[in-house]
Structure 1
Amino acid sequence: MFGFLSRKNHFPVDGRTILITGASQGMGKEVARILAQKGANVVVVARDVKKLESAINYISSAAANPEKQRFHSISADVTKAEENTRIIEEVTAWNHGAPPDIVWAIAGASIPGLFIDTSLETLHSQMDINYWSAAYLSQAVLKLWLRPEPKPASHPTPAPSRRLIMTSSVIAFVGLAGYAPYGPCKAAMRSLADALRSELHLYRGAQKHNPSLAPPVDVKVHCVCPGTILSPGLDEENKHKHPVTKLLEKSDPKQTAEEVAEASIKALEGGHFLIVTQWLAALMRAASLQGSERNSWLTDTLLSFVASVVWLFVGPDLDKQVLKYGQEHGVSVS
């Protein structure tokens, strides 16, 4: 309950096998590097084979124990359900028949733009890479993790601790003009994380109902919501971004991929569920918690009050900026 007082590491990774999608560049690559520094065995997934080769060299060079740690890359299209099943199967085989201990879905891309100007093809592709890729991966690994097995009569083993981490965005908390193709995908992912966190209690209860099954379920879900990340992805995103969107976020704090990775992992070590990586995102998160699990009941309650007051001024100001831009520049409808 008093998460802000806890010093326990809720995210130990030394000697564990971690699967990360979208890890050939940006946040994903930095997350993999830091986890390698902490002693993890890391499997990275992306489409581009050359980028994967470069990423593996970068990540493995940071290994805490190069003689013991192992690294692997998989080229795959994570927007396809069957590819996600293949990824889990390949990682399990590579990991001597054991499923990965931690799965972190980071693959994603933003193609911003005004909603009515965005093609249906782009709307579908945005949902594919930003929501369905994580949903497919989550279902594939949870089916494996939650599969009941008979408990051995002797030599009981402790429950394996497993973590499923999704990477959403602060846009899941507050919708902005120009992010209609992207924001709903990330909001859907945040909602999926909420639903899975609730569903996992069902499996914990079922194990108590039938103790002959093993191992006891110890799976936790986390949702990371970064803000603006200085990365190649941002450079590409800015090519499509409407000027009014740039106006609305011009004063937003920006972080390097390394800063986002460090903040995310630190929050995971603190046991947080809905994770943000900078102060503005913390206010946005607090204002939109609703039924989501609190990281700290005291801090989140105070921040929720502060955010509700701040939004009395920030919300109308954002609306005025959009209105003023339309008055000064107009807008075309094709």
Structure 2
Amino acid sequence: MQNIFSLTGKTILITGASSGIGKAVAQQCAAVGANCIITARNEERLKQTLDSLEGNNHLMVIADLSNNDAIENLVASLPKLNGIVSCAGIVETKVLKFADESDLERLFQTNAFSSIRLIRSLVQGKKLEKEASIVMISSISGVRCGYLGGSIYGATKGALEGFTKAIALELAPRKIRVNTITPGMVESNLLNNSEISEEQLEIDKSRYPMKRYGKPEEVGYAAIYLLSDATKWMTGSSLLIDGGYTLN
């Protein structure tokens, strides 16, 4: 019997693959047979991701997606794609009163504009196969809820959600589907140098009905679902994976 969730023979581009969710997505895609093309800015960490992937038909491309020329060079080097998972992004807490122009530009450039420009370039360059799947990593912040200091970050994720709805309509005639994954707090998003104490983290985790944060690989499983043939009739949707947080 055919495994409807298999990605065997599919070529998948994963951005932000040097760590966290992006790395986990690449590992899970490779485990179910995908040929992965991984990209990020940090060569050393990206090489570690490449070495961790099952199989041999994988490639890595160093690219800073905040740079338009880097996006164009990346796209020019790519073969035809069956899917893309856009994971590149940063999490920053910045109270609006103290945010300056550089904060806005940095967050929007990394979290929204880079993904939008990449998808535009892939479409213009005819790099997406018919029935390809585009997956954007969004967030419950700015889409389902907010938090103090999260106005700019949430706005970037809201922008991705709005983009997804419209581009799903534009690409539907080619059977290309576009969806987002909307996670709650995932362990990889926690800064190593965070000043938040372990006690504070445990209190925050208690707000989740499942009493824990998500794991990067769990977002990877959701990405496999959206990349696979199981979701050929699913587009313009947002897949919520938040441990029940937004039920509160």
Aligned match of 2:218: 259
- 1:230/1:245 Cα in 2 relative to 1: closer, same or farther (>3 Å)? closer
Aligned match of 1:179: 150
Q: Deviations over 1:103-149 (max 9, x none)?
A: 111000111121112222112100010001110111011123389xx
Q: CA deviation at 1:265?
A: 2.3
Aligned match of 1:227: 184
1:167 has 2:137 as partner: yes
Q: How many residues align?
A: 236
Alignment of 1:237-316 (within 5 A): 238-239=194-195, 251-252=207-208, 253-266=212-225, 268-269=227-228, 270-271=230-231, 272=234, 273-280=237-244, 284=246, 314=248
Q: Deviations over 1:71-115 (max 9, x none)?
A: 1111111112221121111122xxxxxx22211110001111211
Q: Provide the rounded CA distance (Å) in 2 between the counterparts of 1:227 and 1:261.
A: 14
Q: Provide the rounded CA distance (Å) in 2 between the counterparts of 1:181 and 1:237.
A: 21
CA contact (8 A) 1:105 1:137 kept: no
Aligned match of 2:169: 198
**C-alpha RMSD of the superposition:** 2.8
- 1:191/1:37 Cα in 2 relative to 1: closer, same or farther (>3 Å)? same
Q: CA deviation at 1:178?
A: 1.5
Aligned match of 2:34: 40
Identify unmatched segments of 5+ residues in structure 1. Answer: 1-6, 93-98, 148-158, 205-216, 285-306, 308-313, 315-334
Q: CA deviation at 1:239?
A: 4.7
Q: Identify which of 118, 121, 124 aligns with 1:137.
A: 118
Q: Deviations over 1:28-55 (max 9, x none)?
A: 1111111111111111111011111111
Q: Provide the rounded CA distance (Å) in 1 between the counterparts of 2:220 and 2:27.
A: 9
Q: Provide the rounded CA distance (Å) in 2 between the counterparts of 1:85 and 1:183.
A: 27
Q: Provide the rounded CA distance (Å) in 1 between the counterparts of 2:127 and 2:92.
A: 35
CA contact (8 A) 1:164 1:222 kept: yes
Q: CA deviation at 1:246?
A: 10
Q: Provide the rounded CA distance (Å) in 1 between the counterparts of 2:121 and 2:19.
A: 24
Q: What amino acid does structure 2 have at the position aligned with 1:41?
A: N
Larger Rg: 1
Q: What amino acid does structure 2 have at the position aligned with 1:90?
A: S
Q: What amino acid does structure 1 have at the position aligned with 2:132?
A: R
Aligned match of 1:289: none
Q: What amino acid does structure 2 have at the position aligned with 1:169?
A: S
Q: Provide the rounded CA distance (Å) in 2 between the counterparts of 1:237 and 1:89.
A: 37
Question: Which has more helix, going by share of residues?
Answer: 1
Please state whether the residue corresponding to 2:224 is helix, strand or coil.
helix
Q: Provide the rounded CA distance (Å) in 2 between the counterparts of 1:91 and 1:187.
A: 28
Q: CA deviation at 1:276?
A: 1.9
CA contact (8 A) 1:161 1:219 kept: yes
1:14 has 2:8 as partner: yes
CA contact (8 A) 1:178 1:245 kept: no
